[in-house]
Amino acid sequence: MQKPKIGISCDLSKRTFPENPKERDRHVLMDAYILSIIKSGGLPFLLPSVTEVNLTSHFIRNLDGILVSGGAHDIDPSNYDADRHAKCAPPNIKRENFEICLIKKAMELDMPILGICGGMQAINVAAGGTLYQDIQSFFDNPLQHQPDEESTYSFHNIEIESSKLEELFSSSSELVNSNHHQSLKEVPESFHINAFSVDGVIEGIESKENSYILGVQWHPESLFSYMEEDFPHSKKLFSSFIESSLIYAEEKK
């Protein structure tokens, strides 16, 4: 059986060396993203943050789906015409420019896209949306969306609206994991908000126009890789993405 080829965007960090150039880029990715794609029947391909647009086009032509991963940076507010807030963390310009270009090209081809945490925020910005630069600064009595120092995630419930996501999960409420301090603000008309947390933070979006573009603010890759029995909805999410990518692969033959 054919396995769809899934491109996964990587995080981009710096490493220092004794000789010049002393500071060099390093692409890294948590293993859970790779495990989730393999467990769901896909072939993962790690995508470096390149600056050449033609290389991004070559990536797209050889893939069947895009997974935009989360990251430790905050998207530069200039990408959505906003001034920088004091709590906005430093950007990762090379990475976010690559991801925004990648998302736009995939959208043009109606290629399946799954965005996780910061990946959902990148989808929203690429489509013309905006972000709240710090949840604590803009929401009254927000939930704990960032974990304490001894934990990897905080956990809270989400409420799922009538949507493709609700049909997929067969549920209107789920427990999810969380590690973020920014959230979606304005969402483009071409997208439907499919999930919220009780404090009003947007937890999920899906495209009204493309066949499959889904963004979630939590981290289903960790739930699927390490806690699948307790969080079966994580498997459903990745299965739907791989199924859509397989359909895309068959249709482009």
pLDDT at 150: 87
12-48 tens-digit pLDDT: 999 999 999 999 999 999 999 999 999 999 999 999 9
pLDDT at 1: 72
Q: Which residues are catalytic?
A: 117, 219, 221
148-197 tens-digit pLDDT: 988 999 999 999 999 999 999 999 999 999 999 999 999 999 999 999 99
Q: Which residues contact 21 (CB under 8 A, 6 or more apart)?
A: none
Q: Which CATH superfamily is domain 5-251 in?
A: Class I glutamine amidotransferase (GATase) domain (3.40.50.880)
For the chain, what are the domain ranges? 5-251
pLDDT at 149: 87
Report the DSSP pairing between strands 154-160 and 173-178.
Answer: antiparallel
Closest residue by Cα to residue 221 from 133, 152, 164: 152
Spell out the alpha helix ranges (H) of the chain.
31-39, 53-61, 93-108, 118-126, 135-138, 164-169, 220-226, 232-251
| pLDDT higher than 90, residue 72 | no
pLDDT at 236: 98
186-227 tens-digit pLDDT: 999 999 999 999 999 999 999 999 999 999 999 999 999 999
| Interatomic CA distance for residues 220 and 238, integer angstroms | 8
pLDDT at 27: 95
| pLDDT higher than 90, residue 73 | yes
| pLDDT higher than 90, residue 85 | yes
105-160 tens-digit pLDDT: 999 999 999 999 999 999 999 999 999 999 999 999 999 999 998 899 999 999 99
Closest residue by Cα to residue 107 from 131, 126, 129, 81: 126
Closest residue by Cα to residue 191 from 214, 224, 166, 172: 214
Q: Confidence band (pLDDT; 50, 70, 90) for 49?
A: very high
